[in-house]
Amino acid sequence: VNKLNWGQVTEYPYKIDDSIQVETTHGQFYQLNLEHIPTYDLDGNEVAGAYNNDVTVWYTLGADGGSNARYFNNCGQDAVNNYYIYSKGNVTYTSAGHSKIESDGPEMQLFVNTLVRSIIVATTPPEVKILNGIAVEDNKYDIIGRSVKTAEDGTVSPDNTIPLKFKVTDEDIAAGDTFAKAKIYIDANDNGTYDAGETILKDYGRTLQNEMEYDEDLLVLATVAGVQTEVLNLYTSNRLKIGIEVMDSSKAVGQAFGLYIRRNYFELD
């Protein structure tokens, strides 16, 4: 069998080679629906490379050098017809078990990885990390920022930013796959969850990708959302607390919170 995607199934607790020999198994009777359903942004534009099909094929059947070698060599890694391990949400399918598995070989290790995935996906939500913050406890971060310059008329200098860098990791899905929902919001109630009426700075819909690093400017997001003054007032008084909330296809929710702490810096020019 041959690896098609990278994730926990291929890496933990055993790191599995790209191709391994397995005991005799059967071909598949049904095709997988891997149709890429387009994802759209809030303006109705299709987002290139972002899809909302949550089926991930991890390994496909491959040639063993016997009579079926020509078939597999000609069709390549056909995930629709020749899947060996795939997952959808918190369900994982494997073709292992058709024949007895050697107890100390790579096929058994891959089977163990598959079992581990089945256990953890039912209980593990997406993990959100704020990369430009200092972790203070659990999913809470302090983010050190600089003073924001404003002119006498209240306009903000264009060289100002309120940066937010973050990454979301979910072992349920392959790197690059998208989440069901995701947003950045102002946690005005400071209660560790999004409440109706709280200001959403960015709604990603189904476009946020697994294992991707994001670099946002909250001043830009606030301007687009029409709440620049609110964000500036909170930021300059060290009361700007933002939440990042991400939901996967199994409706498991991961969150992180960042409190901006403003510091004055010396002008060097």
pLDDT tens, position by position, 184-229: 999 998 888 899 999 999 999 999 999 999 999 999 999 999 999 8
91, 72, 74, 73: which is closest to 32 by C-alpha? 91
Residues in the chain: 269
Return the domain boundaries, the chain. 2-120, 127-263
Domain 127-263 has CATH 2.30.130.10: no
User: What DSSP state is assigned to residue 137?
Assistant: E
Q: Can you give the pLDDT at residue 52?
A: 56
Please write the tens of the pLDDT for every residue from 224-266: 999 998 998 899 889 999 999 999 887 889 999 999 998 765 5
* Strand stretches in 68-194, DSSP E: 83-88, 91-94, 127-130, 134-137, 140-146, 163-169, 181-186
Angle of CA points 207, 208, 211, to nearest 5°:
140
Cis status of the peptide bond prior to 13, with omega within 30 of 0: yes
- Rounded distance, CA 129 to CA 166, Å? 6
- Rounded distance, CA 133 to CA 258, Å? 7
- Rounded distance, CA 147 to CA 160, Å? 9
